[in-house]
Structure 1
Amino acid sequence: MEELKTGLITKATGGFYYVACGGREYECRARGLFRKTGISPLVGDAVKIEVTGEKEGYVVEILPRKNSLVRPPLANVNTFVIVVSIKDPAPNLLVIDKMMAIACHKGMTPMVIVTKTDLGDPSEVEEIYRKVGIEVHTASICSDGWVETVRNALSHGISAFSGNSGVGKSSLLNKIDSRLAIATGETSQKLGRGKHTTRHVQLYPIGDGYIADTPGFSAVELERYEIIFKEELEDCFPEFKKYLGKCQFTGCSHTVEKGCAVIQGVNQGEIPPSRHKSYCTMYEDAKKIKEWEVRKGQPDE
């Protein structure tokens, strides 16, 4: 048998996996063994393939994953880019914080890109997230000054773009690299949301890395499939780290307790109030999650 080749799944559609390997792309099926293990190949997976033709083959092994998302189905994400518009629609800090918490929970580095800055002042959003150590970029479709900086920031590993419809995600990607030719949709003024123009997950090369344009998905959908239990939530807010273990009482929820070091950090102006408010809202929601319900709510692979 020919020696197996190692490559990266850059697209998956119709039961076929498109694997970039040695400067070539192979159209592959997955061997039946994956059905037995219950693990399906995902875009972003490093895989071993058995080549059966000039451009055909079979995926025979999935190499260890760093992380994965269920919806959108994507593996080995290094940077989780949260795209938020300054207007149409206006930024929702709770939605941003939920996405950011999921990124941290999955071991991804969160990044925020604020779009449509020609329509409003992004300084409030910038200040909140830069204060807690998150990389923030601002972008306007009317100028190019930001493009090279953002392109360089994404030119390594796999970067996934997230954001609710209408924030200009696909337009942003087209501006970063016109070769992407990703379809874009204008925001519907009547509905207040954009058209879902991106149909599937696909990786596009940029520098030494890849960017993934994912289907338009809401924070509600993201929450449904990426569960964070209340005991795990404190670790999903990076700015809490230096305060953890310093509360007056063990088992502190960091929501209302007397002697809470995190709340003290908020009162001292070191933790933005909006971030703590998001944490408290998410904590209350997480308290309602039952472990036995989690598997029941997961989709079949």
Structure 2
Amino acid sequence: MIKNGRIVKSLAGFYYVEADGLVYQTRARGNFRKKGMKPVVGDFVSFSAEENSEGYVLEMESRKNQLIRPAIANIDQAVVVMSTVSPNFSLNLLDRFLAFLENKSIKPLIYISKLDLLDDLQEMTTFKENYKKIGYEIFFDTDSLVKALKGKVTVFMGQTGVGKTTLLNKIAPEMDLETGETSEKLGRGRHTTRHVEFFHVAEGLIADTPGFSSLDYEIDNLPDLNNAFPEIAQMSHGCKFRECTHTHEPECDVKVAVENQEILQSRYDNYLQLLSEINKTRETYAKKRKKQV
């Protein structure tokens, strides 16, 4: 019998496919390997479901997006967990997460943890107001966050030590995630996620992602970087040059917007830093090619 469903768990070479309210254990056909393809959690697939025997994934539908680490596909939104302290709140790291997600066409949601450790919330309140103007949703409490998960496929990501696992255990106790001990010496936590799995929460699906302190970027060109900052992309339509870098060019509406405080100085600075990293990567690649010739 051939059925259609979505992979909700991947473990030890097995793919667990949910269809019609049931979960079937399957393996992938060998022809996927020959084509250089591999099913991942979140994939919509057709599969064989024979009674009392192991099923096989037969075909995969095209993906609207995908994360490489961990391997998850067809994601609607991602909750970026940022802590106020230990590790300290970083606009630079947050903007890197946001640019990464914008480039993947994944809607970002921002959750701030450890607010109870602050004596004064003014800085966080100002941050929330500024980023809401850009169009981002920021959450200070779990109740409002859970409402935003309804009917969506959501992944959670964040730097190690921000309390992401604690948050997930609070809103989805059934995940029963082991909280890594925080190393005072290293200033980061030990993440213990061993496999990728979706859980049904708030009439949607959520997945944990391993904690990490850096991102593997796929943004390697100016247009993609420009579009990864929505407010910069919007203002850039008024720039004189089509591929304005917003650095040295005359009649640049983005630079004017920064001067008029219509674009946050910190966002512009972080855009420039990412642009610089793209340019350095290009220069390194060009030097290597020159040596090979």
Using the size of structure 2 for normalisation, the TM-score is 0.90
RMSD value, Cα:
1.9
* Cα distance in 1, alignment partners of residues 52 and 175 from structure 2: 26
Structure-2 residue corresponding to 1:21: 19
1:126 pairs with one of 107, 125, 128: 128
Structure-2 residue corresponding to 1:143: none
Deviates most, 122-131 or 205-214: 122-131
Question: Structure 1 residue 247 and structure 2 residue 239: aligned?
Answer: yes
* Cα distance in 1, alignment partners of residues 248 and 199 from structure 2: 45
Structure-1 residue corresponding to 2:253: 261
1:165 pairs with one of 160, 172, 176: 160
What secondary structure sits across from 2:87 in the alignment?
Answer: coil
CA contact (8 A) 1:99 1:219 kept: no
Structure-1 residue corresponding to 2:30: 32
CA contact (8 A) 2:236 2:252 kept: no
Structure-2 residue corresponding to 1:117: 115
Unaligned runs of 5+ in 2: 286-293
What secondary structure sits across from 2:17 in the alignment?
Answer: strand
Deviations 1:78-119 (A, max 9, x none): 102111000110012111111111111111111111101101
Structure-1 residue corresponding to 2:74: 76
TM-superposed deviation, 1:54: 4.2
Question: Structure 1 residue 193 and structure 2 residue 193: aligned?
Answer: no
Alignment of 1:38-77 (within 5 A): 38-54=36-52, 56-77=54-75
What secondary structure sits across from 2:178 in the alignment?
Answer: coil
What letter is aligned with 1:108?
I
Unaligned runs of 5+ in 1: 139-145, 294-301
CA contact (8 A) 2:128 2:138 kept: yes
* Cα distance in 2, alignment partners of residues 98 and 185 from structure 1: 24
Question: Structure 1 residue 230 and structure 2 residue 228: aligned?
Answer: no
CA contact (8 A) 1:52 1:58 kept: no
What secondary structure sits across from 2:145 in the alignment?
Answer: helix
TM-superposed deviation, 1:26: 1.0
* Cα distance in 1, alignment partners of residues 260 and 157 from structure 2: 32
Q: Count the aligned residue pairs.
A: 281
Structure-2 residue corresponding to 1:278: 270
* Cα distance in 1, alignment partners of residues 5 and 17 from structure 2: 6
Deviations 1:196-219 (A, max 9, x none): 122222111113311110112232
* Cα distance in 2, alignment partners of residues 16 and 165 from structure 1: 28
* Cα distance in 2, alignment partners of residues 291 and 45 from structure 1: 37
CA contact (8 A) 1:200 1:214 kept: no
Deviations 1:107-148 (A, max 9, x none): 11111111011012322432332121101101xxxxxxx322
Change (3 A) 1:28 1:129: same
Change (3 A) 1:130 1:152: same
